[in-house]
Amino acid sequence: MPERREQIFTISELSKEFDITPRAIRFYEDKGLITPGRKGLNRIFSKRDRARLTLILHLKKVGFSLSDISQILDLYDIPDGQLTQGRVALLKFKDRITALEQQQVEIDLAIEKLKEGCEVIENHLAEQTERRDRSDTDGVIGFSVAPQPQVS
């Protein structure tokens, strides 16, 4: 039976796949979120590293801190079939949903206030423009009010 090799990835392959810089991947490595092996000076990433990077990027996209992400990832290796990881992740996800819903309420309110402000400013500008246009043309329609030079 042929020996089954684990699929490996280079930093540039992952960088291209996830559209992030190698520096970002090294940052996650420095924070202990992924732990690639080494082959000489090159980093070698396993399917597990790739899966962890996928999760890191998804959690960052929805606003989780690196600390929260680290807590969730660290629970993966507890020998309870990832039940603890799932429970903790579920609680953190629900907390994040609550926080995002509150932000959404605040954003919706801010948008309404800005729209009201735009309406007030637009009305003010329209009134000012109308007044200026009226004062520029009072009593004279289509003629210049500047004195004409005399020819001698």
CATH number of domain containing 34: 1.10.1660.10
pTM for this predicted structure? 0.71
Q: Is residue 123 part of a domain?
A: no
Q: Is residue 118 part of a domain?
A: no
Residue 72 in tokens: 């969730």
Segment holding 97, helix H or strand E: helix 83-137
- The percent of residues above 90 in pLDDT, for the chain, comes to 72
Residue 84 in tokens: 């603890």
Residue 45 in tokens: 């990433």
- Per residue in 49-93, pLDDT (tens digit) is 999 999 999 999 999 999 999 999 998 888 887 899 999 999 999
Range of the domain at 9: 1-62
Q: Is residue 54 part of a domain?
A: yes
Residue 53 in tokens: 């990077």
Q: Is residue 106 part of a domain?
A: no
Query: How many folded domains does the chain comprise?
Result: 1
Q: Is residue 77 part of a domain?
A: no
Inter-residue contact 11 to 53 (CB < 8 Å)? no
Inter-residue contact 56 to 33 (CB < 8 Å)? yes
CA distances from 144 to 94, 122, 131, 139 (A): 70, 30, 19, 11
